[in-house]
Structures are given as C-alpha cells and as structure tokens.
C-alpha cells in the first residue's frame, strides 16, 4: 500500500513535465496524454529493473521519448497508407507555410513554436524538446537519447537553422 | 562554422556567468555572420518556449492515469490473494481424492476384480449380471 502511495506521488510530481515533453513531440494532446500514461504504466511494470543509475526524471523522460517516437512512427505509417504517393498533400509542409503571421498572444505564440517544432524530423525534434522545453543540459539530452553530446549539439544547431524561417516573425511580436 | 561550435557559442552566450567582456566579444563574432545572427534569434525565441507553454497549458490532474494504476494495483492484489489461496485449495482437493479412494477400496475390495477397479468403484459383476444370476 505504501508503494502505491509513493508511486502516486511520483505520478503527481512528474506528470506535468512528461506531458510537456510528449506535447512537444506530438501534435495531438490526446496522443500526448496516452503516451504519458503508457510511460508510467511501463515504468511501474518494470520498476524492479530500474537500477537507479540515472535520475528518475531522466529515466522517465527517456521512456516518454521512446513512446512518443513509437507514436510518430505509427502515425507516419498510417499517413503513408492513407495518402497516395502522387497526392500533392502527401509532402511534408514547409515550416514557413505552416505558420501564419499574426499578432501574438501568449497562447498563439506557444502554438506557433509547437507547430514549427513539429515540422522537424523526430531526431531533431527530440533534442529541441528536451533542451528548450524541458531545460535539460546538452549532456543530459545525450544521456536520455543515448547519443554522443557532439551529435546533440550539431542536431540542435541544424534544428535552429531549419526553424529560423518559421519562427522569425515571432521576434517582431516578442 | 562547424555545427557543434555554433551550438557551443550560443550556449556560452546564454550562460548567466559569462563576463560582460566575453559576451561583447561573442556578440561581435555573431554580428559578422548573418546566418549566425538568424540562428541566435531562433535560439532566443526557443528560450521563451517553456514560459509561454507553461502559461498556456493548464496542467490537468492525472486522474485518468491514477485510475488506470489503481485498476492495475487491484488486479495485482487479486493475483496475490489467489496465489495465497491456491496451495490450500490444491491440498484439500488432493486430500478429498485420497479419502474417496480409500473409501472406495474399503467398500469395493470384495466385489472388484483388482485394486484399480476397487479404487474407481467398479464391481466385478454388473448389477445386470447379479440379477441374471439370481433368476
């Protein structure tokens, strides 16, 4: 019973952070909530395998990232099945086209950034979400994603280049 | 500039402990490169992301998740209880089978062909045979 109480506290403590991570990775809030639920349930079922070598938050974020990537892959498969190859809509939209220039309320600003980030490929998206939205250091991002820190840095730099045109107008409304 | 160096430059610039003189130098370096300036702008926009996201996302209480976990815990408790009761049920079933076997052997020893038939309660002669013999 005590374990359950502790786990409930853990859920309350990390739910918001993991939801933000999943929201940054996925377009749909429903998918994000599902991913977070699945992450906690997976962690609970395999709790004995958690050796405490990494911080709990980092470990949970890694599970959430992997679950988000699974959903992205699944959605991509469905998209390819549903759209014909010569369908003009089947190409990934240019970030510049997605974002419409308009006066920025905080809500719209957040939505603009999220939309722009979601046009990135998953391997760029996850570093941006972890580094900027979750405020993990470059080294922590590397640990979570299990890739070298140098790769994280170059991906971040390339992601910023790609996001530049889509986010440029936000500076005018800062 | 190498992508990794670009990122290191941006992080250094954003570091709160960087001295004003170094900051000026870094900014000078960035001013020389329009591409780097654009990247810095994007970097600064993304730095505001957690704040704007926090302001817009009213974090819901994870009730659905808590309910799902409680269901999981309930199933676990049922499994645990069943696991505890199973040895008693199994032992009682075995004891009942042994007792029935002993009773059968005791009652049927004289009427059965062999001990296995006696154990199963099968007489040597069926009721029809006995009736026919008595006729």
Tens digits of per-residue pLDDT, A96-128?
444 444 445 787 888 889 889 999 999 999 999
* Local confidence band at A139 (pLDDT 50, 70, 90 cut-offs): very high
**pTM for this prediction:** 0.67
pLDDT digits 0-9 by tens, B28-82: 888 888 888 889 999 999 998 888 887 776 666 788 888 888 888 888 889 888 8
* A114 and A150, same domain (yes or no): yes
Domain that holds residue A159: 99-174
Nearest CA in chain B to A105: B52
Number of domains in chain A: 2
pLDDT digits 0-9 by tens, A58-88: 899 999 999 999 998 888 776 666 655 555 4
Domain boundary residue among A42, A62, A97?
Answer: A97
Domain boundary residue among A51, A76, A97?
Answer: A97
CATH of the domain at A72: 1.10.1740.10
Regarding an ipTM greater than 0.85, the answer is no
* A123 and A86, same domain (yes or no): no
**Are B64 and A110 a contacting pair at CB < 8 A?**
no
Residues of chain A neighbouring B4 (CB-CB closer than 8 A)? 150, 153-154, 157
Which chain B residues have any C-beta within 8 angstroms of a chain A C-beta?
2-4, 6-8, 10-11, 35, 38-39, 41-50, 52-53, 55-57, 59, 61-62, 64-66, 68-70, 72-73
The position carrying tokens 């790609």 is A162
pLDDT digits 0-9 by tens, B69-97: 888 888 888 988 888 889 899 999 999 99
* A130 and A151, same domain (yes or no): yes
The position carrying tokens 């709990």 is A56
Q: Tell me, what's the pLDDT at B107?
A: 85
**Are B3 and A36 a contacting pair at CB < 8 A?**
no
**Are A157 and B7 a contacting pair at CB < 8 A?**
yes
Tokens of A168: 């440029």
* A10 and A89, same domain (yes or no): yes
pLDDT digits 0-9 by tens, A6-21: 888 889 889 988 998 9
Angstrom distance (rounded) from CA B135 to CA B127: 13
Greatest alpha-carbon pair distance for chain B in Å reads 127
Domain boundary residue among A81, A97, A113?
Answer: A97
Tokens of B51: 């704040």
Tokens of A157: 């730099």
* Mean pLDDT of the region A142-170: 91
Q: Residue B56: which of A41, A106, A128 has the nearest Cβ?
A: A106
* A31 and A73, same domain (yes or no): yes
* A68 and A6, same domain (yes or no): yes
Closest CA to A19 of B54, B52, B72, B69: B54
* A20 and A70, same domain (yes or no): yes
**Are B57 and A20 a contacting pair at CB < 8 A?**
yes
Q: Tell me, what's the pLDDT at A94?
A: 44
């Amino acid at each position: 019973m005590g374990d359950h109480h502790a786990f409930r506290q853990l859920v309350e403590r990390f739910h918001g952070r993991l939801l933000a991570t999943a929201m940054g990775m996925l377009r749909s809030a429903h998918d994000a909530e599902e991913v977070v639920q699945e992450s906690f349930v997976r962690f609970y079922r395999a709790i004995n395998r958690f050796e405490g070598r990494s911080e709990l938050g980092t470990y949970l974020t890694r599970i959430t990232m992997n679950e988000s990537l699974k959903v992205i892959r699944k959605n991509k498969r469905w998209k390819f099945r549903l759209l014909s190859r010569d369908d003009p809509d089947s190409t990934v939209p240019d970030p510049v086209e997605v974002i419409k220039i308009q006066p920025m309320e905080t809500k719209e600003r957040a939505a603009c950034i999220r939309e722009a980030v979601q046009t990135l490929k998953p391997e760029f998206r996850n570093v941006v979400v972890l580094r900027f939205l979750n405020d993990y250091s470059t080294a922590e991002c590397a640990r979570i994603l299990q890739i070298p820190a140098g790769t994280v840095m170059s991906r971040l730099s390339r992601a910023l280049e790609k996001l530049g045109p889509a986010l440029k107008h936000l500076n005018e409304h800062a | 500039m190498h992508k990794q160096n670009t990122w290191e430059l941006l992080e250094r610039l954003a570091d709160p402990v960087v001295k004003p003189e170094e900051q000026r130098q870094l900014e000078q370096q960035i001013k020389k490169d329009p591409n780097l300036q654009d990247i810095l702008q994007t970097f600064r926009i993304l730095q505001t992301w957690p704040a704007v996201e926090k302001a817009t996302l009213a974090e819901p209480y994870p009730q659905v998740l808590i309910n799902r976990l409680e269901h999981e815990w309930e199933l676990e408790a049922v499994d645990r209880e069943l696991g505890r009761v199973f040895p008693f049920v199994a032992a009682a079933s075995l004891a009942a089978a042994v007792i029935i076997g002993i009773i059968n052997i005791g009652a049927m020893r004289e009427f059965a062909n062999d001990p296995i038939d006696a154990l199963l309660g099968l007489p040597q002669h069926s009721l029809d045979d006995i009736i026919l013999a008595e006729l």
